Amino acid sequence: MSNQIRPLIAGNWKMNGDAGSFLEVEAIKDKMAANVVNADVAICPPATLLHRVSAALYESDVATGAQNCHAEAKGAYTGDISVDMVKEAGGSYVIVGHSERRDGYSESNEDVAAKASAALAGGIVPIVCCGESLDVRESGKAIDVVVEQIIASCPDFAASQEIVVAYEPIWAIGTGKTASADDVAEMHDAIRAALVERFGEQGAAIRILYGGSVKPANAAELLAVENVNGALVGGASLKADDFWGIISAA
Ligand code: 13P
């Protein structure tokens, strides 16, 4: 982890969570209040729970965010939510370009950049995701593909405000397989170099999260890697004990 960058540990609940999840939210809030935490922490629940989770975490050290947004401010976009809606529901982050949306909804780099732009214009922090498939990893082109993807997914003015990048190898998501610390180091170094080339000094300050089967048992090793500035956590963010295990590893 680069010492000068405060890590971000963000939980992506995906399409999970219900009224019972508030016990987990309260438990995380209590642990955060009772301990000194050297990381920013955020929870991104489904859109229907965002308002309630934000209210439960009001004035705590845990921020909230959405898992997606539309690039437009309003209009005839059935089923979508705008950046202002995320903000009104209390969110200060939005995940954009998750591989589950790129693959499931054919989101292109341009779509992702437009969403990230909308988030920045609206004053919330986009967490822009990238990551390669197993085929790409096995073909030896992972670094080229991911660097091209992330650069094309970040709007031009990205670094003048806060933006977060998340590297999530698709083959490591929800599979229990984690990229090795060496592979993560190589990829995060390449992403850092590309961000610095594109954004200059400001690119050196952008947080680059790792995601893909992060758990309490592997968090310390992954978070110790140079240029890993936090984690985007799926399954393990649903249980307060597991999520706390990752937060405390930071
Ligand atoms: P898992 O931690 O469940 O592998 O999910 C990672 C992820 O996709 C977070 O956005």
In this predicted model, what pLDDT tens digit does every residue of 2-56 receive, in sequence order?
558 999 999 999 999 998 999 999 999 999 999 999 999 999 999 999 999 999 9
pLDDT surpasses 60 at 228: yes
pLDDT: is 1 or 142 the higher one?
142
Q: How confident is the model at residue 1 (pLDDT cuts 50, 70, 90)?
A: low
Q: What is the average pLDDT across 188-194?
A: 98
112 is written with which tokens?
């992702």
User: Ligand 1: which of 43, 102, 233, 239 to mutate, judged by most atoms within 8 Å of the beta carbon?
Assistant: 233
The domains located in the chain, with CATH, are: 8-249 (3.20.20.70)
Could you tell me if the CB of 213 is within 6 A of ligand 1?
yes
Q: How confident is the model at residue 158 (pLDDT cuts 50, 70, 90)?
A: confident
pLDDT surpasses 70 at 200: yes
pTM of the full structure: 0.97
CB 233 within 8 A of CB 211: yes
pLDDT score for 22:
94
What is the overall mean pLDDT for the chain?
A: 95
pLDDT score for 160:
76
Measure the CA dihedral 140/144/149/155, to 10°: 160
**Rounded Cα–Cα distance for residues 10 and 16 (Å):** 15
Q: Which residues are designated catalytic?
A: 98, 168
Could you tell me if the CB of 235 is within 6 A of ligand 1?
yes
Q: What is the average pLDDT across 108-114?
A: 98
**Rounded Cα–Cα distance for residues 42 and 39 (Å):** 10
